[in-house]
Structures are given as structure tokens and as C-alpha cells.
Amino acid sequence: MAAEGDCASGDRMALAAATEAVAAGWVLELSCCCLCQHFVEGRAAEFGRWRAVAQAVINGFSKIATHQKKMVYLCQLLIRIANGKKLECNFEEDPKISPLESALSYWTLLEREESKFDKLHEDIRRLIQIQVVAVHMEKRYFKEAAEALERMFTDSESDKPLRGKLTTIIKSKDPYIPLLQSFNYDLLISKVKSYVKRFMNENEKNFLLQAAMEQVESKGLEAVALQNITVSASEEEENNLETTQRFTEEQPSTTNPLPEDAAKSITRRCSMRKFRARSVLQSVNSLQNVEEVVDSQNSGRRRQPWTLEEDKKLKSGVREFGVGNWAKILVHGDFSNRTSVMLKDRWRTLSKIKSSKLLRKNKAMHKGT
């Protein structure tokens, strides 16, 4: 009897473990789906939230099933690409390995899961390799760029041409040469988005999303969702009067049990809001740019005062690169929580202050004479 009880208990535990594994797989699929969608649409905040979910689920797996590998690798790739310019982020045990180097390793794993290769695969690989060097050089970490180059490339003949070019670029210590400008980070993001869209088209169905949609439709919750979207849109329009750098996004439901006139009115307003949001997002070419816009808004609200040290860096940068080269000056000065637009505005203010001082000085001289 005791043996039978132990056997039954073991069966229940095995069943519970199998059930948890299936449920975790569903959550992984949902996380990957949402992560891909927000990456493609440039929604930094939503991407950040689903990144945490995806990472927690992935870390919870004791063993990744074969059919789950591609999703796991893609999630890890996107997380690293999204943080590719943040060299302070560490995804590997060795702190010297940059986010993009880590991304390259996951891209290699993803390629192994592919049934066939095309030019897009090669483009993404080369762009990641170029940007590993470019990101270090933008920070003027030339030694680290050379070390990363040694880690990335093998001695294969196919790698030699690009490796040679990047070696020459690092020696020049010029992060603004044509090759790095032509194959820039925005192009990398664009290519990765193309790959993600292809993945999404091949994996359209998602069990949890379908179940959620059925739940929403059966309870008539889409009407509430549409109303909430309208209220949210109105509040954000008011906020737009206070800030010009703002974007919103809505996802109106495709079904609508509301009275016909009310439904049309709400759908029309939501469509207008989505059109305005898309117009703004078109000017934001990558997820990195979206994060910069959000950061710019936050720092703008706080009105961070300029320090004497920052003014010195700005003046030094203008002397070295000239007025107007704000992007170069931003990198050269290693400013914290500043953008090129902020540098431009601050230089305009400093110029006005200088002109005002000269004017007062001339007036004093004239009075003295």
C-alpha cells in the first residue's frame, strides 16, 4: 500500500511538473510575441516590461526544449540589441564583453536553428560586427575596440576583408569615417526588424493571445477597452500642450458591440490618434532613438542645470569640432544625460551671455571716454 501511495505521489509530481512546463512554454511564446511586436514598433517602455517577463521565464527553465530554442535565442538577441550602445550593461560573466558581442553569440545560435540562409542573415551578422567596433569608438575606447575585434573574428578567409577594414579604422581613431556612418546602428535596427517581422509572420498564432481575445469578446470587454483608449488619448492630448516630444500608441479591438454611431466615433478618434502616433514614430528610426526621446522628456521636466564643467566641455568641443557638429561634441565631451539638441541650445545661451557682456563692456568704455 505504501509503495502504491509513493507511486501515486510520484505520478502527481510528474504531472504537475509537466503541466508547469507546458504553461511556462505558453508564457514564453507570449513574451516572445510581445517583445517582437514592441521592438518592431519602437515602444521602449512596453519592450522593457516584457523583457523582464521573458528573462524571468527563460531563467526558470531547467532545460530548453528544441522547439523553444529559437524563441529564447531571439528574445536574448533583441534584449542585447536594444542595449547595444550601453557598454556599461553586462550580459556575460566577463565584463569586457559588450552587449553587441553577446548579441552576436545569440545570432550565431539563431542561425543554427534556421533551415536556410539568405542575404539578410549575412547583413545582420556583418552589421553587428561593425557596430561592436563603432560603439566602442564612439566612446573613444580604441583599445577596447581592438580587443573586441580580436574576440569576434576567426582566422577564416571570409572574415579577412572586413577584419582588415575594421583594424584600419580602429588605428585611425576616427569614429566618423564613411564605413561606420554608412553601416550605422539605425541600419542594424532596421535589418533586425525585418528579420523579426519574418519570424512574426511565420508564428502568427499564439495560444494565450487567442484565449485572451476570446475572453475579451465573450465578456464584451472590448467596449471598455475602447473607452479607456479614448480617455487615455484625451489626457495625453492635454499633456501634449506642455511638451512637443511625445508619442502614444493604441491598439483598438477589431470587434465592437457598441451602438453603431458611438462605435464609429470611437474608432475614428482612435484611428486619428494612431495616425499621429505613427507620424511621430516614423521620425524615430530605432528603439534607441525612442529611449533617447523619453530620456530627453524626463530630463526636460527636471530642468537639470548646466554645470561649469559641462560648459567647459562644450566650449572645448566647439573649438575642436566647430559650431554645428553637436553629435561629435556630445561623444567627445562624454556628457551625462545630455543630447545634441541640448548642446545646441546651451551654446546659443552661452553665445547670448557672451554678447551681452561685450555690449555692457563697450557701453562702459564709451561712458569712460
Residue 5 C-alpha from the chain's centroid: 53
342 vs 121: which has the higher pLDDT: 121
Report the predicted TM-score, pTM, of the whole model to 2 decimal places.
Answer: 0.58
Range with the lowest mean pLDDT among 1-15, 182-196, 240-254, 287-301? 240-254
326 vs 199: which has the higher pLDDT: 199
Q: How many Cβ atoms from other residues are within 10 Å of residue 245's Cβ?
A: 14
Give pLDDT, residue 123.
Answer: 95
Q: How buried is 205 (Cβ within 10 angstroms: 0-12 exposed, 13-18 middle, 19+ buried)? A: exposed
Between the CA of residue 14 and those of 6, 21, 59, 331, what are the distances in Å?
Answer: 12, 11, 21, 56
Between the CA of residue 346 and those of 4, 111, 226, 305, 313, what are the distances in Å?
Answer: 79, 47, 43, 10, 12
Write the pLDDT tens digit of every residue in 264-314: 544 554 444 444 444 433 433 333 343 344 344 444 444 678 888 888 888
User: Dihedral, CA atoms, 230, 235, 239, 241, nearest 10 degrees?
Assistant: 70
Range with the lowest mean pLDDT among 75-79, 247-251, 257-261, 361-365? 247-251
Range with the lowest mean pLDDT among 37-46, 163-172, 350-359? 350-359
Instruction: Give the whole-angstrom CA distance, residue 139 versus residue 117.
Output: 34
Report residue 341's pLDDT band, with 50, 70 and 90 as the boundaries.
Answer: confident
* Mean pLDDT of the 152-181 span: 89
Give pLDDT, residue 286.
Answer: 36
Whether the pLDDT of residue 225 is over 70: the answer is: no
For 344, the 3-state DSSP assignment is helix
Write the pLDDT tens digit of every residue in 229-265: 444 444 444 444 333 333 333 333 333 444 444 445 4
Minimal CA–CA distance to 133: which of 82, 95, 168? 168
Averaged confidence pLDDT in the chain: 77
* Grid coordinates belonging to 237: 492630448
Give pLDDT, residue 285.
Answer: 38
Instruction: Give the whole-angstrom CA distance, residue 152 versus residue 146.
Output: 10
* Mean pLDDT of the 180-195 span: 94
Instruction: Give the whole-angstrom CA distance, residue 219 versus residue 306.
Output: 54
Contact present, 142 and 173 (Cβ < 8 Å): yes
Residue found under cell 464609429: 264
DSSP state of 159: G
Give pLDDT, residue 220.
Answer: 63
For 63, the 3-state DSSP assignment is coil
Give pLDDT, residue 140.
Answer: 93
Contact present, 6 and 15 (Cβ < 8 Å): no
Q: How many Cβ atoms from other residues are within 10 Å of residue 308's Cβ?
A: 7
Q: Which residues of 42-60 are buried (b: 16+ CB within 10 A; e: fewer)?
A: bbbebbeebbebbeebbee
Give pLDDT, residue 251.
Answer: 38
